[in-house]
């Protein structure tokens, strides 16, 4: 097969992470070095930028700034949540994408995101192939949720896990400071997979973790929760630190957050004051035990806390970007780059990079293994610690300027519309 | 005056900070070196530990662990919120304190905290002096609120400010990632003084700060707020990042958070679902503008985020502890250590340490100067940046073990009760 020559298009999609820009840096640096790639474009707001012919000319950026992307959180090009229809139902968007690809001679397409983004990437890949338009399509994995199938772990997870574990340790020290009963509930992101909530187990490993950890993988019972908390308080001088995934569900599959919301009257502005499941459970504990409570939501901080990124994660995300380009330039297409965990002769963790069919990544969700969830659904086993610890190693953050992070400043020069 | 010889008692009080333990380390290390000090005790849970004769023998601790206190957040000895009555009204507690001081020959008493704690310290100082019991009493300043009178700034503020500024920058990148309107409200601690909320201005200084900043020093109008937000959204592609102090008040002095709470019905558990003023204002924006909103509360993280502590703050807190002991051992009493800002010949910031009467610290609150609050109460002037920047310099955190912080582990051996 002849080597394709043409433009490289890269887009970011879905919720940002601390290291998604590190993958962008990897793609850009590698693409700029590849002879078969004539132009390097970054789509503004993912697929929408392509549909609107809004993309930035990456060759106009300083290499130094591109390298600073490695430690700059969030999606520097802008992200999007745009679901492509099945092209058998409505191929309008696909025809438009093909038109744009042809117009700008896009022969290499890289899309960086989680499950939904891989679904988008997979559909585009299949449509281009079906249209007979030669374009190598590669998915670059990303998600703090760590729920992508077929890869040992996903870029973004480890840094979020490091944020969650470190912050949990600090909060544990703070929440226990008074000599009176206190229930503290930490709410962690994750609708269906509890990987990030499980990361609070790393704080337990250091003696400063939650007594109770609830993942969405296990059905959540409010009555059992109350009994669990009472048991901890009775044996722990009235103190209880709890980590819950935002996505915990009842045995009927209803979100616990929504169960509480049903009990609420709307406020004068017409909104129910749902403060998230953490707040609801903290209120429940206050009512039940009459003690001081506090709900803490790690909110956006857990996915943009780049100042706590792990070096392993930042470097793996960068290499994932580079590898994607290498795979595509070697003729690979319709694939997602995946991580394989290996250990060297000294037992040291070594990450290997492979590629697998996009289709597999697009339609499967990886959850925490049932056997890692122990103590009647209230704790995580040491197997998780062995899994996660190698991934959170090393300190890595943006250089400081005036004591504050110096993030990448891109010029973002639009490619003139044709 | 003869030099006092006897026991040193140290207590921590009020809300913790990232560097309160650094002051504890300073007091302990210095006290262990002073010849006039025979025993070094740390009270469990501040004044309550003294009343209950529960204190730890610090000479039993490893020096290495005491030094690790410099980077360990929260109050390692335990804290307390216990308000001593006026001794002219009820001197029961004071008589008990005097009894304990005599029993353990306490001749040096150090109390580490904010306004309320300095009030406690002041009352004890006056009572001991009035009783004719020789005991040198020194207050060690601490508060993330930075509202202590008579000192240029207070240990704990700078690290909290660095946390707030860094996190605001990261959140700004994340919250702006989609190409749709979005209002994000950051809620920062501070009931009456807006110093910490003003720290979000440091993020503006780096181009990644809130468009609107509201401090409790300025009366807050809900109608004006809505107009302010609309104005920003109209000129900023529908995006608006807002920082509010938890303590913003109406022109009648009512907390805005409570105004919203009044509009709420209780939930089935009997609690109004007040998620804080940030959540209330985010809900209001959702109702008014129909856009996506998010409320983020920095909660305990802003006061225990020791992984983002500033070196300047950690070292100043440590020296404040040492200086307190030096002042007391030189015969000083009834004082609080204060910081004086000076600049060297090269214009470099240099902190000097002085002492001032405890009484002054106890009863005055320092707020943000009115002239630093600009743009009709929605922004902060560059004078704040010049004030705060020297204080947040340098990176300083606990050593890592397994990629996670290694905090101090004290043995906490109780002094046998006499």
Q: How far apart are CA A280 and CA A284, in angstroms?
A: 6
Task: Give the residue on B whose Cα is nearest the Cα of A176.
Answer: B78
Closest CB to A179: pick one of B78, B260, B273: B78
Are A418 and A55 contacting, i.e. CB atoms less than 8 angstroms apart?
A: no
Residues 238-277 of B with CB under 8 A from A: 260, 263-265, 267-275
Q: What is the mean pLDDT of residues B248-261?
A: 90
d(CA B62, CA B60): 7
pLDDT at B363 exceeding the cut of 90 = no
DSSP states of B79-130: ----PPPPTTT--HHHHHHHHHHHHTTEEEEEEEESHHHHHHHHHHHHHHHH
* DSSP, res B392: G
Torsions phi, psi for A37 (to 5 deg): -100, 120
Q: What pLDDT does residue B238 have?
A: 97
What pLDDT is recorded for position B262? 53
Quote the minimal CA–CA distance from B268 to chain A in Å: 6
CA distance A186 to A279: 9
Q: Which of residues 54-73 of B touch A (CB under 8 A)?
A: 72-73
Residue B317: helix, strand or coil by DSSP? helix
What is the mean pLDDT of the segment spanning B110-117? 95
- ipTM value: 0.96
Q: Which residue of A has its CA nearest to B285?
A: A269
pLDDT, mean of each 10-residue run, chain A (418 residues): 90 96 98 98 98 98 98 97 91 97 98 95 97 97 96 98 98 95 97 97 98 98 98 97 96 90 47 68 95 96 97 98 98 98 96 96 90 98 98 96 97 97
- pLDDT of residue B102 exceeding 60: yes
pTM listed for this prediction: 0.96
Q: Is B324 in contact with B337 (CB distance < 8 Å)?
A: yes
Q: Return the pLDDT at B326.
A: 98
Portion of chain B with pLDDT greater than 70, in percent: 96
C-alpha A69/C-alpha A63 separation (Å) is 10
Q: What is the pLDDT of residue A41?
A: 98
Across the interface, of B72, B177, B205, the residue whose CB is closest to A79 is B177
Instruction: List CB contacts of B227: < 8 A, sequence separation 6 or more.
Output: none
Residue A273: the pLDDT is 42
Select which of B93, B119, B145, B228 is catalytic. B145
Give the three-class secondary structure for B337. Answer: strand
Q: How many CB pairs under 8 A join A and B?
A: 208
Strands B106-113 and B6-12: parallel
The shortest C-alpha distance from A298 to chain B (Å) reads 8
B332 touches chain A (CB under 8 A): no
What is the rounded CA–CA span in Å between residue B397 and residue B410? 18
Closest residue by Cα to residue A177 from B27, B144, B120, B16: B16
Q: Which of B177, B281, B286, B302 to mutate to test the interface with A (most CBs of A within 10 A)?
A: B177
In three-state form (DSSP H/G/I as H, E/B as E, the rest C), the secondary structure along chain A is: CCCCCEEEEEEECCCCCCCHHHHHHHHHHHHHHCCCEEEEEEECCHHHHHHCCCEEEHHHCCHHHHHHHHHCCCCCCCCCCCCCCCCCCCCHHHHHHHHHHHHCCEEEEEEEECHHHHHHHHHHHHHHHHCCCCCEEEEEECCCCCCECCCCCCCCHHHHHHHHHHHHHHHHHHHCCCCCCEEEEEEECCCCCCHHHHCHHHHHHCCCCCCEEECCCCCCCHHHHHHHHHHHHHHCCCEEEEEEECCCECCCCCEHHHHHHHCCCECCCCCECCCHHHHHHHHHHHHHHCCEEEEEECCCHHHHCHHHCEHHHHHHHHHHHHHHHHHHHCCCCCEEEEEEEEECCCCCEEEEEEEEEHHHHHCCECCCCHHHEECCCCEECHHHHHHHHHHHCCECCCCEECCEECCCCCCCCECCCC
What is the predicted pLDDT for the residue at A1? 60
**Closest-CA residue to B12 (of B80, B71, B109, B64):** B80
Give pLDDT tens digits for B163-208. Answer: 999 999 999 999 999 999 999 999 999 999 999 999 999 999 999 9
Burial of B27 (0-12, 13-18, 19+ CB in 10 A): buried
Strand, helix or coil at B272?
A: strand
Lowest mean pLDDT among A79-93, B15-29, B236-250: A79-93
B270 vs A contacts (CB less than 8 Å): 287
The CA distance from B394 to A405, in Å, is 11
- Tell me the domains of chain B and their CATH numbers: 6-143+306-362+395-405 (3.40.50.450), 157-302 (3.40.50.460)
Which among B79, B176, B401 is the nearest to A178, CB-wise? B79
| pLDDT for B1 | 60
Per-residue model confidence (pLDDT) at position B266 = 43
Closest CA to A404 of B195, B306, B384, B207: B207
Residue B270 in this model has a pLDDT that exceeds 90: no
Q: Which residues contact A70 (CB under 8 A, 6 or more apart)?
A: A19, A21, A22, A25, A314, A317, A318
* Residue in A48, A286, A395 nearest the CB of B271: A286
Which residues of chain B does A308 touch, with a Cβ-Cβ cutoff of 8 Å?
A: 307
CA pair distance B206, B162, nearest whole angstrom: 13
Chain A residues with CB under 8 Å of B394 CB are 403
Whether A273 and A173 have beta carbons less than 8 Å apart is answered as no
pLDDT of B302-359, one tens digit each? Answer: 999 999 999 999 999 999 999 999 999 999 999 999 999 999 999 999 999 999 999 9
What pLDDT does residue A267 have? 41
Q: Could you confirm whether B145 is annotated as catalytic? A: yes
Measured at the CA of B242, the angle between CA B236 and CA B245, to 5 degrees, comes to 165
The per-residue pLDDT of chain B, averaged, comes to 95
Q: Does A291 touch chain B (CB under 8 A)?
A: no
Distance from CA of A59 to the nearest CA of B (A): 22
């Amino acid at each position: 097969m002849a080597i394709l020559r043409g433009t490289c298009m890269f887009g970011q999609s879905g919720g940002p992470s601390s290291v998604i820009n590190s993958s962008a840096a990897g793609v850009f640096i590698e693409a700029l070095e590849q002879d078969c790639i004539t132009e390097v474009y970054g789509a503004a707001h993912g697929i929408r930028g392509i549909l609107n012919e809004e993309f930035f000319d990456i060759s106009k950026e300083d290499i130094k700034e591109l390298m600073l992307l490695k430690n700059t959180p969030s999606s520097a090009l802008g992200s999007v949540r745009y679901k492509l229809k099945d092209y058998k139902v409505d191929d309008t968007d696909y025809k438009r994408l093909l038109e744009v690809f042809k117009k700008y001679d896009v022969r290499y397409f890289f899309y960086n995101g989680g499950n939904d983004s891989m679904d988008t990437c997979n559909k585009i890949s299949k449509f281009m192939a079906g249209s007979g338009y030669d374009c190598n399509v590669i998915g670059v994995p990303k998600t703090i949720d760590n729920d992508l199938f077929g890869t040992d772990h996903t870029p973004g997870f480890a840094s979020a896990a490091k944020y969650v574990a470190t912050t949990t340790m600090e909060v544990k020290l703070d929440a226990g400071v008074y000599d009176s009963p206190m229930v503290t509930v930490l709410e962690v992101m994750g609708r269906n997979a509890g990987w990030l909530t499980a990361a609070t187990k790393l704080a337990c490993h250091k003696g400063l973790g939650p007594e109770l950890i609830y993942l969405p993988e296990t059905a959540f019972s409010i009555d059992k929760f109350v009994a669990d908390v009472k048991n901890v308080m009775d044996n722990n001088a009235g103190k209880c630190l709890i980590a819950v995934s935002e996505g915990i569900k009842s045995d009927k599959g209803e979100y616990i957050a929504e169960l509480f919301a049903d009990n609420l009257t709307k406020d004068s502005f017409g909104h129910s004051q749902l403060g998230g499941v953490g707040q609801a459970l903290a209120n429940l504990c206050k009512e039940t035990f009459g003690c001081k409570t506090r709900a803490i939501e790690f909110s956006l901080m857990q996915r943009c806390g780049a100042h706590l990124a792990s070096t392993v994660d930042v470097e793996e995300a960068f290499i994932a970007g580079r590898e994607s380009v290498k795979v595509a330039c070697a003729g690979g297409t319709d694939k997602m780059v995946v991580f394989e965990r290996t250990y060297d002769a000294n037992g040291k963790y070594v990450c290997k990079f492979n590629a697998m069919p996009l289709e597999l990544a697009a339609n499967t969700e990886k959850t925490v293994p049932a056997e890692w969830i122990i103590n009647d659904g209230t704790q995580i086993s040491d197997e998780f610690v062995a899994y996660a610890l190698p991934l959170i190693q090393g300190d890595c953050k943006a250089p400081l300027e005036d004591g504050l992070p110096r993030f990448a400043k891109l010029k973002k020069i639009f490619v003139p519309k044709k």
